[in-house]
Amino acid sequence: MELGQGFAYIGRQVPIKIGETERFIDLLFYHLELRCFVVIELKIGKFEAEYIGKLGLYISAINHQKKKETDNPTIGIIICKTKDSVEVQYSLEITSQPIGVSEYRLAKLLPDNLKSNLPSIEEFEEQLKNIGSTHD
């Protein structure tokens, strides 16, 4: 939950039109110091290799539709309950997209400076529960 400094929260379940299909990005941020968008996909279970393809699609869409010339390329992060490091390594080797995979640990309290810009812990936990049943 602690993203660090420089993250500007844009939204959750952010709609983005890709071809004829409307998709929904779990969390979208802009990093002020890195000058790039950050797409975060939340998964309630174990990391699966196909998550890389979905996140790559979202990264490409943001780069084409929202990124400005002065912005750096979009970064993607998959946050999942558990991961097999070897599977993650092999999955990331097939892409040139800047993607990271992390296991989540829900904190009890958000730092005060983030509370107004991020969903509450309850909203975040609810989002994790609903990920598998919506837009997936």
In a domain, residue 2? The reply is: no
Bridge partner list, 79: 42, 102
pLDDT digit of tens for each residue in the chain (136 aa)? 456 678 889 999 999 999 999 999 999 999 998 899 999 998 888 888 888 889 999 999 999 999 999 999 999 988 888 887 887 787 777 777 777 777 766 554 445 554 555 555 455 555 555 544 444 4
> Which CA distances in Å does 63 have to 50, 68, 104, 120, 127?
20, 8, 26, 28, 25
In a domain, residue 34? The reply is: yes
Count structural domains, the chain.
1
Structural domain of 114: 7-133
Q: pTM here?
A: 0.69
Q: What is the CATH number of the domain that holds 95?
A: 3.40.1350.10
In a domain, residue 1? The reply is: no
Please give the Cα distance from 117 to 131 (Å, whole number). Answer: 21
In a domain, residue 95? The reply is: yes
In a domain, residue 77? The reply is: yes
In a domain, residue 26? The reply is: yes
In a domain, residue 51? The reply is: yes
Q: Are 1 and 107 a contacting pair, CB within 8 Å?
A: yes
In a domain, residue 129? The reply is: yes
